[in-house]
Amino acid sequence: MAKQTTILKEISIEGVGLHTGNKSIVVFKPTPAGYGIKFVRIDLPSKPEIAALWSNAASGLAIRGSVIEKEGVRIYTIEHIMSACLALGIDNLIIEISNNEPPILDGSSKIIAEALLNGGIKELDAPKQYYVIKKPVRFESGKTKITAYPSNNLEIDCTIGFDHPLLKYQQMSLGSINKENYINNIAPAKTFCFDYEIEALRNNGFGLGGSMDNAIVLGLDGIHNKEPLRYEDEFVRHKILDLIGDLYLAGKPIKAKIVADKPGHQNNIAFVREFLKGAVLEEDKQSEDVMTGANCGTSSTERILSHEEVLKYIPHRYPLLMIDKVKVNSAEPTKAVGYKCVSGNEGFFQGHFPGAPVMPGILIVEAMAQTSCVMFLSKPEMQGKLAYFMSIDKAKFRIPVRPGDLLELRVEVVKDGRRRGKMRGEAYVDGKLTAETDFMFIIVDRQ
C-alpha cells in the first residue's frame, strides 16, 4: 500500500512572477501526513495560509494562470508548482512565499521539479488517498471538452488547436503520470503566447514579468525566441503540464484517464469541481489490485482495460482505433462495455460533414466490433489471434453522434461457436440509444 509523502528538508527557489512581475522567494517545507498542500504569504503581517484547493480558486481570474485566494489575499500562477507536486507524488507541503506570485523561472516546471527532488521525498506513516470514479465524468464549456474515465492511474490525452497557421492542431497521449514520465516528457515544456497578445496582456496587468527567457513567443512565421523548441510539440506538452497542476486542486491525487480537448485554467478548475461530484476518496489498494486483477472503483471481478492494454489486444491504430477503454467482467464473460470520447479533432469530421460534424454510422459499428475484439482477445487462450467481421445485420442509427459526445458501447454474445459467433451491439450517448446492430465474426490465427 502506497504511503503519503512530504519532502525531507527545506528547499527554496526565487525569481520574478510571470504576470505580476514581482520578485519572490518560495520556501518548500515538510509537513506531517494529512496536511495537504498550503501556501503561506509570509510577506503579510498575519501570514495568511491558503490551501491549494479548487474551492479557493479566485472567481474569474483563471485566464492566464490558476489563482487562489482567501479573505481578499491572493496568490497567482500556482499551476507549475502544483503540477510538479502531483507528478512527483508529494501529498503534504508548506509553501511559504514572500510575495503574491511564485517565480516563473524558465517558464516550465523543470527547475521546480528538480528542486523538490533535491529536497528528497519522505514517506509518511499514513496511507495515500486518491479520488476515483466508477463511471465517466464529462464536462463541456465553449470549445473545451474534458472527459474522465475510470482508470488505475492518472493518464492524460490532450488536444489543442488555435486559429493560427502554425498551431492549428497538436495532440499527445501520456500514459501513467509518474516521476520519470513527467521529468522526461512534460516538466521542461515552456509556457507560450502569441506575439499579437503581448500588448493587450500587459495593458490588462498580465505578463509583466514575461520575457523571451521564460516564454515561447509565437508569430505568424515561427517563434521569436533564439532558443529552439525543446520538443516539436512543446505547446500541447505545456498544456498537459498546466492541466496536471489544475487537477491537483482536487486536494488529493486523481486516478482517471483524462481526455481533454482545448483545456484552459478556468475550465480545468470547473472540470475538477464536476469531477469531484462523482468521485469517491479511497485509500491506495494497488498491491491488492495487482493480486486480484481488480481496478480502482470496480468490483473484484470487473476490470477496466486501459488504452495501453487495448493496444496489446487488437491491431487497430490511429486513425482507425475507435475505442479508448473497455470494461470486462469475469462474472459476465459474454458482455463488455467500451468507451470512446469523440473529439472534435477526429479526422473523419473534416469531411463528414464540414459545418455539421456527425460521426459516420459505420465507425460506430466498428467501435462496437473493436469492443468485442478486446473482450475475446484479452482472454489468455486467445493470444496470437485476430478477429474479422463476417456480416452486419439489422443496423439502425437513431441519434447523431457529434464532437464532445461520450460513446458507451455495450456488446453481448448472442451465439458463441468459439472461432465464430454472433454479437449484439448497442451504442449510447448520455443514456440514450444512438445505434444498434447485430454482427458476426470469425477468429483466426494472426499468422
Cell of 68: 487562489
CA distance 262 to 130: 25
Of 239, 247, 202, residue with least CA distance to 108: 239
C-beta separation of 378 from 311 below 8 A? no
Query: Residue 361 belongs to what H/E stretch?
Result: helix 361-377
- ω into 353 cis (within 30 of 0): yes
CA distance 410 to 67: 42
Burial class (CB in 10 A: 0-12, 13-18, 19+), 196: exposed
Catalytic option among 80, 238, 265, 307: 265
Runs of H (alpha helix) within 219-360: 234-247, 265-277, 286-292, 307-313
C-beta separation of 51 from 37 below 8 A? yes
Query: 414 by DSSP, 3-state: which?
Result: strand
Please spell the DSSP secondary structure of 94-158, one letter per residue.
EEEESSSS---TTSSSHHHHHHHHHH-EEEEEEE-EEEEESS-EEEEETTEEEEEE--SSEEEEE
Rg (C-alpha) for the chain, rounded Å, is 23
* Torsion angle of C-alpha atoms 311, 313, 316, 321, degrees rounded to 10: -60
Q: Does residue 265 carry a catalytic annotation? A: yes
CA distance 447 to 441: 18
Burial class (CB in 10 A: 0-12, 13-18, 19+), 430: exposed
Show which residues are catalytic: 265, 352
